[in-house]
Amino acid sequence: MGVKVTGAGFPFYTGKGARLQRALINFFLDEARDAGYKEIIPPFMVNEDSGYGTGQLPDKEGQMYQDGEGKDALYLIPTAEVPLTNMYRNVMMKEENLPVKLTGYTPCFRREAGSYGSDVRGLNRLHQFDKVELVRIEHPSQSYAVLDQMVAYVQGLLTKLGLPYRTLRLCGGDLGFTSALTFDLEVYSAAQDKWLEVSSISNFEAYQSNRLKLRFKGADKKKTLAHTLNGSALALPRIMAALLENNQTENGITIPKVLVPYTGFETI
């Protein structure tokens, strides 16, 4: 249906599938709220300066959907990281106002140019998908401890959903050029017999804040670049697929107990 209406990579969710999708979004947002994150509903399009500030431009413009040219150019966001972090572009913060903890649900848009083959079909790789994102702005002395906390937090979400997962620390060659250290969390796909990435959690140290001119001033009046971090908590298409694949019974698909208050049903 999505292929007819829009094209490949734009799925429809209907009936209980749509309610399960909405349940996951609300569950992730409520968990983030309880963990002290402030919920934000950001714009779904950003300008060129915002793309530059978080490192999407001028590197990934081929993967982003663009409307307009030159000063009028706007880009559909590939992740909520972009608008959330750019809220603090050209901001001089006070040290006592750190840390900043933000979360936001958005649809995300990626062209995924060059992605072909059976391994990217279905919900594996989409042009439009939903995601709940975490963004942190931290004192440099705290950023790596916070990175570990964020990894543990996402691991906790996957445990509550009852999904088998593994955690990978990326080697230098696999890191994005903006990241100092990244951990990927992957869930097991029973149907494909492979592990699929559902979250990427990164410490950018001062790379983004240098572009954003995001600084804070301490008691000594010295201006210091903050550290930025972000992580998916979580990307929904592969989570949805993993739930459907790993919870099949003779009576249908069992909904994790933590989601039942959100779905209003226990099986599909």
The question of whether 111 is a catalytic residue gets the answer: no
pTM exceeds 0.85, yes or no: yes
* Mean pLDDT across the chain: 93
194-214: average pLDDT? 97
Q: Would the pLDDT of 114 be above 50?
A: no
Residues in the chain: 268
106 domain-assigned: yes
CB hemisphere CA count around 252 (13 angstroms): 8
Given 110, 189, 202, 209, which residue is catalytic?
A: 110
CB 234 within 8 A of CB 132: yes
- Identify the band that residue 122 occupies on the pLDDT scale cut at 50, 70 and 90: low
| Domain annotation covers residue 173 | yes
Q: Which of 189, 200, 202, 232 is catalytic?
A: 200
33 is catalytic: no
Specify whether 202 is catalytic: no
User: 32 near 95, Cβ under 8 Å?
Assistant: no
Residue 85 lies in a domain: yes
Please state, in angstroms and rounded to a whole number, the distance separating the CA atoms of residues 87 and 188: 35
SS3 of the chain: the string is CHHHHCCCCCCCCCHHHHHHHHHHHHHHHHHHHHCCCEECCCCCEEEHHHHHHHCCCCCCHHHCCEECCHHHCEEECCCCHHHHHHCCCCCEEEHHHCCEEEEEEEEEECCCCCCCCHHHCCCCCCCEEEEEEEEEEECCCCHHHHHHHHHHHHHHHHHHHCCCEEEEECCHHHCCCCCCEEEEEEEEECCCCEEEEEEEEEECCCHHHHHHCCEEECCCCCEEECEEEEEEEEEHHHHHHHHHHHCEECCEEECCHHHHHHHCCCEC
16 belongs to a structural domain: no
Active site (annotated) includes residue 110: yes
- State the average pLDDT over residues 197-219: 97
* 19: annotated active-site residue: no
d(C-alpha 204, C-alpha 220), whole Å: 25
pLDDT exceeds cutoff 70 at 213: yes
114 part of a folded domain: yes
| 4 inside domain | no
Estimate to the nearest angstrom the gap between the alpha carbon of 16 and the chain centroid: 24
| Residue 208 pLDDT exceeds 80 | yes
pLDDT at 198 (0 to 100)? 97
pLDDT at 106 over 60: yes
10-48 pLDDT, tens digit per residue, is 999 999 999 999 999 999 999 999 999 999 999 999 999
The pLDDT of residue 116 is above 60 = no
* Catalytic-role residue among 125, 136, 179, 209: 125
Domain presence at residue 160:
yes
In this prediction, residue 113 carries a pLDDT of: 54
Taking 90 as the threshold, does the pLDDT of residue 68 lie above it?
Answer: no
> Residue 136 above 60 pLDDT?
yes
Q: Which domain holds residue 190?
A: 22-44+77-263
CA 106 from centre of chain: 9
The domain that holds 204 is classified in CATH as 3.30.930.10
The whole-angstrom distance between residue 48's C-alpha and the CA centroid of its chain comes to 20
Total domains present in the chain: 1
Q: Which pair of structure tokens corresponds to residue 113?
A: 């140019």
Residue 37 within any structural domain of the chain: yes
